[in-house]
Each structure stands twice: as structure tokens, then as C-alpha cells.
Amino acid sequence: MNAREASHQPGRLESLEFTNSFAGLPDAFYTRLDPLGLPEPYMVCASRDVAELIGLDPGEMQRPEFTEIFAGNVLPPGSDALAAVYSGHQFGIWAGQLGDGRAHLLGGLRSPHGHWEIQLKGAGRTPYSRGADGRAVLRSSIREFLCSEAMAGLGIPTTRALSVVGADLPVRREEIESAAVVARVAPSFVRFGSFEHWAADGRGEELRLLADYVIDSFRPECRAEANAYAALLADVSRRTGELIARWMAVGFMHGVMNTDNMSILGLTLDYGPFGFMEAFDAGHICNHSDHQGRYTYRNQPHVAQWNLYRLAEAFRPLVGDRAAVRAVVDAHYGDAFEMHFEKLMCAKLGLRAALPGDEDFIGETFGLLQQQRPDFTQFFRALAHMPAVAATDAVDREKPAKIDDLLRDQFVDRAACDAWLARWRARLAQTPWDDGTRQAAMCAASPKYVLRNWLAEGAIRKAQDGDFSEVGRLLACLRHPCDEQPEFAHYAALPPDWASGLEVSCSS
């Protein structure tokens, strides 16, 4: 094999053939412009899983050319870089025109695993930057990289992250930080706000073109329905309901559920001030910028429905009057969320088959969590190890067996825990199965590891000192969040004292 043949082997950087289907839409949908790269870039982290997803040999991530491409310094063949326009509601208020203020869509790749678009976030100003510098910082880029891959490990629909490339380029936020570019990967980055943009301006033809693009590219099955646009609205309503159920079941809080941060494909999109629930509080606000508490944990299902109603309003020219489009949302979102959430919670509780009254028991469980405030992830993981039949201490028959202390130690009021455990065991007895099989199923539904803020912060602090090893270790752990992984057991711990003052905001 000669050098020319080797350079075009499948999986090589040189073999990647970019196209940009979004660029086939009229010019009003975007601005064509090249990314502004990074001076003297260096690799911070990269995901082997995502490299394989897009058809790239993971070994290629070690090449200097990889760093140059995903820093935005070199455009790959076939790339037609652009920044897309969209609008949206932010914190419940119409914000008007927004758009990719610091993101450049390089184009798409087709691999054995499907079609994937690659977007560089932090690659400089665009016409939609609204006076900002168009840069991302190392801190926020690492957070997005790790959470994208953590959510994928949890089985939650999400955009992915291929890499983070850094540079010693100063960027001013609350303080001076260093610049970075994260390469985001998804089938599409079209948002609810992409449709709102055209509807708000009364641009019906552009609205139809965008809907046709999404249907023909990603949801061709909608064409079989009487109204393909109503079918698309139904599809995104259902997928959004299932997505939010998955968030709630693992204690994930997005933090900024604006309509411009909601994916038309039902993916988790735009990782900024996210958080995973620790000491349980349904009213927890993970975003320090959310002064009114709009995006608390408990509000996420309601906000998602509100956002879908805004999308439905945009679909009115394609579907019908306000009543008709709201009916589509109502017919698909609520049931999808409730059915999926109950299914996920039954799995976490080890209920072999659903019974009438399970919804009430799930509500009772969350009531206990709210009252007692145990760590959300640790509570369900410890529960997964509990025996179905109560045992007593070998010496003192009045005391529960030591195994129950895995759960009881999380409660100030142990009697409340004991009472709930008794009800849980009574419910298990109604649909019994052997402990080993049940416990394995519960562990598969209740992760041991989530991306706690203190874990991300620890990796960020080391990275800011030039040590990127902790990012790699976290990535390795979070790929398999439900496995025991004893070498990473410290990642399942409660936050250390130094993390008590951590806050994340829209600049995170």
C-alpha cells in the first residue's frame, strides 16, 4: 500500500467526506463564515466513542491535524461552515432573534452509525453574537464535553462531544480565563426556536421549508400521515416527554430550558448551568442566574410543555388554529412523560410488573425524599442492594439487619426510613422475583456515578493547571455509570467541604 492509498483508508482524517445539508436551505437561514481558530492549540480531551460514531479511527485523535481541524484552524474537505439563525423565549420572555453566536456548523458526515453534524462551539464571533466575543472558555467546554458523554452513558438522548481543544488565549468572563473549542456532534442542531424565528416574522414559506427539511432528513415516516407537519409536532412532543422523564429519573437539571435550547429531535441540547440532584429538594435551582426559580427540578415537566406550546404556535400556519396545535401537544406530551417516568421509577424501585397504586407509591417515595433530603443518586443505588425480605440483627432481634444501614444511614429520621422500607417490601411481595435478578435490574436503572458539580470542578481546576488526566479518568468512569467500577469508587462520594460554595450560571 502506497502513501496515497494509506491516506484514504476508511477511518482516516483524510477520508472524512463532509457535506452540509443545512446549507441547502436558502441563505436567510444562516450566514456562511469560517470559524476563527485558536493560536497554538493543544488537545485537552477527546472521546473514542464519538470518533467511532462518526466513522473515525480513534487513533487519528493523536494526530496534530486532528487538533488543527477541531480547533477551527483548518477546514476539512467538503465543509461549508455556517452559523444558523433562530429566535426563542428565554426565561419565559420573547427574546427575538438569536442564533449561533459562537458556534460554526462544519457540516455532516455519514458513517455506519448514521448521519452526524459537527459544530465547533467557541470558534469566534458570528452575526448573531450580539456584541459577545464568540468564544468559549476551558471551564465551560470541559463541563459540556463531560456531561454530553455522561448523558450518553446514562442512555439519555443527547448531543455528543468529540473533543475539547484549548489555547493560551485570554478570554474575559467574570475573570480572565483561557479559550477552548468543543466539537459537538448530533444528527441536527435545529431547535424549537428555529421554527419560532420564521413564525414570528410571518415567513410562512421559510417555515414550511424548515419543516420539510427536518421531515425529509430525519423523520420521513411523518410523510405517511394525513398532515406531515402535525405528525412532526406529535413526534417532537412525544420525544420531549420521554426525554424529560429520563432527566427526572436520574435527577438531572438542565438549568436553562429556553426554547432556543430545546432540540426538534428530542435531544438534550446546550449544556451550561446543568446539575445533578444531590441532597434531594424538588425546588432546587441549579442555575445561579435563574433568580425566579423558573427552571427548578420540579418545574421541568411543566416548562417543557410550555415550550412545546410555543413550538405549536409556530406550527399554526402548517397545522391549523391554536386549538388544533395545542391538541397535538396535549395528545402526545403528557402521556409520554407520565408513562415513561412511571416505567423508569418502577425500574428504580425494583417493581417487576406495574400495579394500580404504583403512581401513588412513587409520589410517596418522593415525599419521603423531600422530607428527609437524602442524596438522590445514593438513595436509589443503596436501595438496589436491599433484600426483599426484612432481616434482623443476628444479636439484637429488635434491630434491622446491617444491610439496611446502607439506606438508613442516609436519614436523620431512621424510623421514617424503616416505615417506608416496610411499605416498599410489601409492594415487592405483590410481584416477587429473586433478589439477585431484581438487584441487578435495579442497579442497571440506578447509576452509581453521575457528573456531580464537584467532580467536574476538580477536573477543571487540574486542567487549568495543564493537567488533563482527570478529565480522561472521569470520562472513562462515566461511560459505564451503572457498573460498580471499584477503581472509581471515590467518584460516588458526597461533595467534599470545599465544594459547598460551588455555583454555576449561564456563563458556565
Between 8 and 404, name the one with better pLDDT. 404
Please give the Cα distance from 462 to 471 (Å, whole number). 9
The pLDDT assigned to 499 comes to 81
Average pLDDT over residues 192-202: 97
Q: What is the mean pLDDT of residues 375-385?
A: 98
- Rounded to an integer, the average pLDDT of 337-352 is 98
Between 429 and 505, residue with greater pLDDT: 429
- Alpha-carbon distance of 482 to 493, in angstroms, equals 15
pLDDT at position 174, please?
Answer: 85
- pLDDT reported for residue 337: 98
Residue 427 main-chain phi, psi, to 5 deg = -70, -40
Q: What is the mean pLDDT of the chain?
A: 94
Per-residue pLDDT at 381? 98
Whole-number pLDDT of residue 504: 81
Beta bridge partners of 108: 19, 117
* Cα–Cα distance for residue pair 76/19, rounded to 1 Å: 10
**Average pLDDT, integer, range 96-108:** 96
| HSE-up of residue 28 (Cα within 13 Å, Cβ side) | 11
Give the CB-side neighbour count of residue 108, counting CA atoms within 13 A. Answer: 18
pLDDT at 4: 42
Judged against a pLDDT cut of 60, whether residue 8 lies above it is answered with no
Q: Helices marked H in 77-227 — which ranges?
A: 138-153, 192-200, 204-218
Those residues whose C-beta lies under 8 Å from the C-beta of residue 426, and which sit 6 or more positions away, are none
Per-residue pLDDT band for 397 (boundaries 50, 70, 90) equals: low
The string over 376-403, giving b where at least 16 C-beta atoms fall within 10 Å of a residue's C-beta and e elsewhere, is: bbbbbbbbbebeeeeeeeeeeeeebeee
Please say if 281 is a catalytic residue.
Answer: no
Q: To 10 degrees, the CA torsion angle through 242, 258, 51, 42?
A: -150
pLDDT of residue 9: 62
Task: Tell whether the model's pLDDT for residue 2 goes beyond 50.
Answer: no
Once rounded to an integer, what is the mean pLDDT over residues 244-271?
A: 98
* DSSP states of 117-130: EEEEETB---TTST
Quick check: 1 pLDDT over 70? no
Using 50, 70 and 90 to split pLDDT, how confident is the model at 7?
Answer: very low
Split at pLDDT 50, 70, 90, the class of 6 is very low
pLDDT-based confidence at residue 5 (cuts at 50, 70, 90): very low
User: What pLDDT, on a 0 to 100 scale, did the predictor assign at position 505?
Assistant: 67
Tens-place pLDDT, residues 9-36: 669 999 888 999 999 999 999 999 999 9
| Options 80, 100, 235, 260, the catalytic residue | 260
Average pLDDT over residues 168-181: 94
Q: What is the mean pLDDT of residues 231-253?
A: 98
Q: pLDDT (tens digit, 9 = 90+) per residue, 279-333?
A: 999 999 999 999 999 999 999 999 999 999 999 999 999 999 999 999 999 999 9
The conformational region for residue 147 under phi > 0 = left, psi -120 to 50 = alpha, else beta, is alpha
Q: What is the largest CA-CA distance in the chain?
A: 78
How many residues are there in the chain? 508
Eight-state DSSP code of residue 22: G
**pLDDT for the residue 398:** 63
Q: Which residues contact 12 (CB under 8 A, 6 or more apart)?
A: 6, 57, 60
